[in-house]
C-alpha cells in the first residue's frame, strides 16, 4: 500500500519510467574525455527504501530471486549491483501487475 501511495503512477507508466521514478535507472556520468561509472541516483526515497527491503527478503526466500541474484554474482557483478537489479525487477513486475490488473505471481517475477 505504501508503494501505491508513494508512486501513484504504478500501472500507467513503462517499466523504464517506473525504474527512473524509483531511482533505479543507471545514469552514466561523463564530461568531455572523462568517463565515469554508471550509477543509480535520484528518484523517490521511500519507494527505493521499500524496494531495498523487499529485494533483501526476496533474495533470501524466493527461489526465483535467489537464482537471479546468484547468477548475477557468478557473472562477476558486485553484490550491491545484483541487489539493485533485483530491486528494479521487483519495481517493473509490480508495475506490470498493476497495469494488467493481475494479482502478484512470483513465477512471473
The helix (run of H) or strand (run of E) holding residue 36 is strand 34-40
| pLDDT for 56 | 96
Packing angle of the helix pair 45-61, 63-74 (nearest 10 deg): 100
Q: Tell me which of 44 and 66 has the higher pLDDT.
A: 66
More confident of the two residues 93 and 105: 93
The answer to whether 23 and 6 are in contact (CB under 8 A) is no
- Interval 7-47: pLDDT, tens: 999 989 998 899 999 988 877 777 777 777 777 778 888 99
| Nearest alpha-carbon partner for 90 in 74, 71, 68 | 68
Whether the per-residue pLDDT at 73 is higher than 70: the answer is yes
- Quote the DSSP letter at residue 8: T
pLDDT of residue 86: 95
The pTM score is: 0.83
Q: For the chain, what are the domain ranges?
A: 2-28+40-108
Amino acid at each position: 500500500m505504501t508503494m501505491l501511495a508513494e508512486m501513484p503512477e504504478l500501472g500507467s507508466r513503462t517499466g523504464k519510467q517506473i525504474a527512473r521514478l524509483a531511482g533505479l535507472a543507471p545514469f552514466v556520468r561523463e564530461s568531455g574525455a572523462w568517463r565515469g561509472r554508471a550509477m543509480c541516483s535520484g528518484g523517490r526515497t521511500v519507494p527505493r527504501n521499500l524496494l531495498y527491503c523487499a529485494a533483501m527478503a526476496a533474495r533470501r526466500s524466493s527461489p526465483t530471486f535467489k537464482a537471479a541474484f546468484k547468477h548475477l554474482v557468478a557473472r562477476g557483478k558486485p553484490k550491491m549491483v545484483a541487489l539493485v537489479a533485483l530491486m528494479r525487477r521487483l519495481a517493473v513486475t509490480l508495475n506490470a501487475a498493476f497495469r494488467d490488473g493481475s494479482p502478484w505471481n512470483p513465477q512471473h517475477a
